Amino acid sequence: MSLRVLTGITTSGTPHLGNYVGAIRPAIVASQSTDTDCFFFMADYHALIKCDDPARIERSRLEIAATWLAAGLDPERVTFYRQSDVPEVTELNWLLTCVTAKGQMNRAHAYKASTDINEAAGEDADAGITMGLFCYPILMAADILLFNPHKVPVGRDQIQHIEMTRDVAARFNHLFGQGSDLFVLPEAHIEEHVATLPGLDGRKMSKSYDNTIPLFEGGVKALKDAIAKIVTNSLLPGEPKDPDNSHLVTIFEAFASSAETAQFKDELRAGLSWGEAKKRLLDLIEHDIAPMRERYEALMAHPEEIEVLLQTGAAKARATAAPLLKKVRESLGLRPMQAITVPAAKAEKKAALPLFKQFRLDDGLFYFNFIASDGRLLLQSQGFSQGREAGLWIAKIKNEGVAALESNTPIALGEGVALSDVADALMVLLAD
């Protein structure tokens, strides 16, 4: 069996060099291995939680799809789709919502970070927080469990979400799995050997720090301009530089072989100027990126072609998801009427026993009937003013058998019923 790998990319921004090195490149490399079955999708429902600008949402989905395809994702090998094209995701989301403890969501980091900020600002803890943010981890669990992957490559900030997914899956299996596991418990996969790419200022490259190097947007000029802004020290050309304390070198390393890196470091120690070092870095990155940028631009010029690929991907994803979702629905009791076998058998077994049935009529009096297993009315009481009286008579009949009925009693035999019929039925009932 091949290993199933699934990951989602939130479509709220434009991919930068850090995204490429940290997520896109390793995912594509992993997808090229023959024994993996990859599901990569654009988490555009998740993007709605962070972003309420429709133009940004639309643009980001296009840029991210074009980036992944240009970077070498093969849609024939990988199931590549948009979350919002797979309605099974939202359906499973609800089914999982119903087994997820609210207290567990209260503890989710993303939600807690927001309430902490509110509280620090003296506001109501939930000010400005949507149910989308609060339930974010459940939607993510639905994304994952719908495809039962073994491995989910994510960044460290997502580990808690994978743990929550495992919890929800285990609870669901326990409550509704009837001994067989509906859901696979996925493992988070952190790419240990992929360094986090530093940004222009040396902190982690991130849009929120405004220190990113663009991947394709703006062409080679934008790449060159960004590299020019990488912060270095003021050592002059010819002065020896410490390559082990330079984030420029770390960025270089992410694109170079170890031999190339070793040589670059030696040259810096020997006094290579920062200007020349930046030129080398530009050439190195450009060597990898230029052919992809060409594909990116061609794809961006034809969004309708990307649309076709994504629709095909969604159809593939739905074909995989539908059988599991059907099982999940059925496990919860959401099944076609004729498929109700277990409860029906139980009901029949009950009907197979004779039964005393107590009831109260409009006259306010209490009655009971004794009904045979075939539904025939064996005994019918008169009305009693107290429910307790009816109960006492039933107990007496059970204890004494038909002898209780022999003298003048408030209980009549049903039509065509003999005392021996009642005796037989009592035996069946009491033997059970």
Return the residue of 4, 10, 114, 289 that touches ligand TRP, per CB under 6 A.
10
Say how far apart CA 239 and CA 193 lie, in whole Å. Answer: 32
Tokens 């567990």 correspond to 104
* ∠ Cα 84 81 32 (to 5°): 155
Residues in the interface with ligand TRP (CB under 6 A) total: 12
Among 29, 59, 22, which Cα is nearest to 205's? 22
Among 180, 165, 262, 276, which Cα is nearest to 227's? 276
Interacting residues with ligand TRP between 172 and 231 (CB under 6 A): none
Residue 28 half-sphere exposure toward CB, CA atoms < 13 A? 16
Q: Which is nearer to ligand TRP, 5 or 426 (CB)?
A: 5
Q: How far is the CB of 19 from ligand TRP (least distance, A)?
A: 10
Interacting residues with ligand TRP between 139 and 178 (CB under 6 A): 140, 143-144, 152, 154, 158
Stretch that binds ligand TRP, among 4-12, 59-67, 172-180, 340-348 (CB under 6 A): 4-12
Return the residue of 17, 42, 43, 306 that touches ligand TRP, per CB under 6 A.
43
Among 128, 102, 103, which Cα is nearest to 115's? 128
For residue 187, give both structure tokens: 């493992």
Q: Which is nearer to ligand TRP, 144 or 285 (CB)?
A: 144
Residue 46 as a binder of ligand TRP (CB under 6 A): the answer is yes
Residue 30 as a binder of ligand TRP (CB under 6 A): the answer is no
Q: How far is the CB of 12 from ligand TRP (least distance, A)?
A: 9
Among 247, 245, 251, which Cα is nearest to 282's? 251
Pairing label, strands 36-43, 377-381: unpaired
Residues 6+ apart with CB under 8 A from 380: 367, 369, 370, 411, 412, 413, 414
Q: How far is the CB of 8 from ligand TRP (least distance, A)?
A: 3
- Give the bridge partners for 158, in sequence order: none
Q: Which is nearer to ligand TRP, 31 or 158 (CB)?
A: 158
Residue 38 as a binder of ligand TRP (CB under 6 A): the answer is no
Say how far apart CA 370 and CA 350 lie, in whole Å. Answer: 14
For residue 410, give both structure tokens: 């408030």
Stretch that binds ligand TRP, among 5-13, 278-286, 314-322, 391-399 (CB under 6 A): 5-13
Q: Which is nearer to ligand TRP, 43 or 251 (CB)?
A: 43
Q: Which is nearer to ligand TRP, 10 or 114 (CB)?
A: 10
Pairing label, strands 411-413, 36-43: unpaired
Tokens 């070793």 correspond to 262
Q: Looking at beta carbons, which residue is closest to ligand TRP?
A: 8
Q: How far is the CB of 269 from ligand TRP (least distance, A)?
A: 38
* ∠ Cα 69 72 74 (to 5°): 75
Stretch that binds ligand TRP, among 7-15, 198-206, 226-234, 355-363 (CB under 6 A): 7-15
Q: How far is the CB of 250 from ligand TRP (least distance, A)?
A: 22
Q: How far is the CB of 45 from ligand TRP (least distance, A)?
A: 8
Q: Which is nearer to ligand TRP, 185 or 419 (CB)?
A: 185
CA distances from 295 to 9, 20, 386 (A): 20, 15, 87
Residue 7 as a binder of ligand TRP (CB under 6 A): the answer is yes
Say how far apart CA 364 and CA 392 lie, in whole Å. Answer: 18
Say how far apart CA 93 and CA 85 lie, in whole Å. Answer: 14
Stretch that binds ligand TRP, among 138-146, 318-326, 343-351, 404-412 (CB under 6 A): 138-146
Q: How far is the CB of 17 from ligand TRP (least distance, A)?
A: 17
Interface ranges with ligand TRP (CB under 6 A): 6-8, 10, 43, 46, 140, 143-144, 152, 154, 158
